[in-house]
Chain A
Amino acid sequence: AQSVTQLGSHVSVSEGALVLLRCNYSSSVPPYLFWYVQYPNQGLQLLLKYTTGATLVKGINGFEAEFKKSETSFHLTKPSAHMSDAAEYFCAVRGNNRLAFGKGNQVVVIP
C-alpha cells in the first residue's frame, strides 16, 4: 500500500524566505507523486506532479519539487515566499488507481 508522511502541521515562513515542505513516501511500485494546494474555502488544486522522467519538477506559482528515490522523498520548495502562498499543502502518492494523502502542512506567511 502507498502512504505519505508530512511532518509539522503548521509551517511559518517570512515573506521572501525559502519555503520548504517535506514529504516522504512509501510505495511498492514506482510512484506517481503529487503536491496539491488548498486555498481558504477552495478545493484541492494541483501544484505539480512527478510521473516519470526529470526528477526536478516545476509547478505553478514558482513551486518546484525533486523526486529522490534513494531518500523516498518529494520535498516541495519555493525560493521566495509570497503572502498569497498562505494555504494548506498536501503531498500525495498514487497507487492502485487512488491517491493517498499526507496530513498536510498549513503554511503561514509572516510579513
Chain B
Amino acid sequence: EPEVTQTPSHQVTQMGQEVILRCVPISNHLYFYWYRQILGQKVEFLVSFYNNEISEKSEIFDDQFSVERPDGSNFTLKIRSTKLEDSAMYFCASTGLAGGNTGELFFGEGSRLTVL
C-alpha cells in the first residue's frame, strides 16, 4: 500500500543550525503538507504546497522555514536557524485531489526534531 515516508525519524541539532527534513509523498498525490506537534500540544498546520508553490501557510511558518520539491518526488522542510522552540514532531502529509473527494490526508510517521 502506498505510504508517505519521512527521514530522518529523529534528529538532534544545536540551536542556530540548519535542519532539512525530508518527505516522499505518495506518488500520484498533488497536495503536500507539513504539520508539527510540540510535545503535549495540538498537531498544528505549517504549510501546504501545490503546483510547485506554497498555497497556504500558517503564522508559525515564518522566514526561518522554507519548503521545496526539488526533484518531483521529495518534499523538504528546511529550518534555517533552529531555535529551542522548534523542537517538535514534524509530520508530512499528502492528498490526491484539491480539497479532495475524500478530504483525507495521508501522513508519514513523523520526524522528531530535538534542538539543544
Question: What's the interface size class on B, roughly?
Answer: 20 to 34
Q: Are B91 and A98 closer than 8 Å at their CB atoms?
A: no
Is B2 part of the contact surface with A, judged by Cβ < 8 Å?
Answer: no
Name the residue on B nearest A6 (C-beta): B42
Q: Which chain A positions have C-beta within 8 A of B35?
A: 99, 101
Q: Are B102 and A98 closer than 8 Å at their CB atoms?
A: no
Q: Which chain A positions have C-beta within 8 A of B33?
A: 98
CA distance A34 to B99 in the complex (A): 14
Count chain B CB atoms within 10 A of each CB in A90, A97, A103 and give the residue with the most.
A97
Q: Which chain A positions have C-beta within 8 A of B100?
A: 32, 94
Interface residues of A in 72-89 (CB under 8 A from B): none
Q: Given that A97-B56, A101-B42 are contacting pairs, would A44 and B103 also be in contact in the complex, using a CB cutoff of 8 Å?
A: no
Chain B, residues 21-54, CB within 8 Å of chain A (1/0): the string is 0000000000101010000111111001000000
Is A109 part of the contact surface with B, judged by Cβ < 8 Å?
Answer: no
Interface residues of A in 58-111 (CB under 8 A from B): 90, 92, 94, 96-104
A-B contact count (CB 8 A): 56
Interface residues of B in 1-17 (CB under 8 A from A): 4, 6
Q: Which chain A positions have C-beta within 8 A of B45?
A: 98-100
Q: Given that A98-B56, A104-B43 are contacting pairs, would A43 and B91 also be in contact in the complex, using a CB cutoff of 8 Å?
A: yes
| A interface residues with partner B (beta carbon < 8 Å) | 9, 32, 34, 36, 41-46, 49, 51, 90, 92, 94, 96-104
| B interface residues with partner A (beta carbon < 8 Å) | 4, 6, 31, 33, 35, 40-45, 48, 55-56, 91, 93, 98-110
User: 18 more A-B contacts (CB under 8 A) besides A32-B100, A46-B104?
Assistant: A32-B103, A34-B103, A43-B91, A43-B110, A44-B91, A44-B93, A46-B106, A90-B43, A97-B48, A97-B56, A97-B98, A98-B48, A98-B56, A99-B35, A101-B43, A101-B44, A102-B42, A103-B42
Q: What are 13 A-B residue pairs whose CB atoms fall within 8 Å in the complex?
A: A43-B110, A44-B91, A49-B102, A49-B104, A51-B101, A51-B102, A51-B103, A96-B56, A97-B48, A99-B35, A100-B45, A103-B41, A103-B42
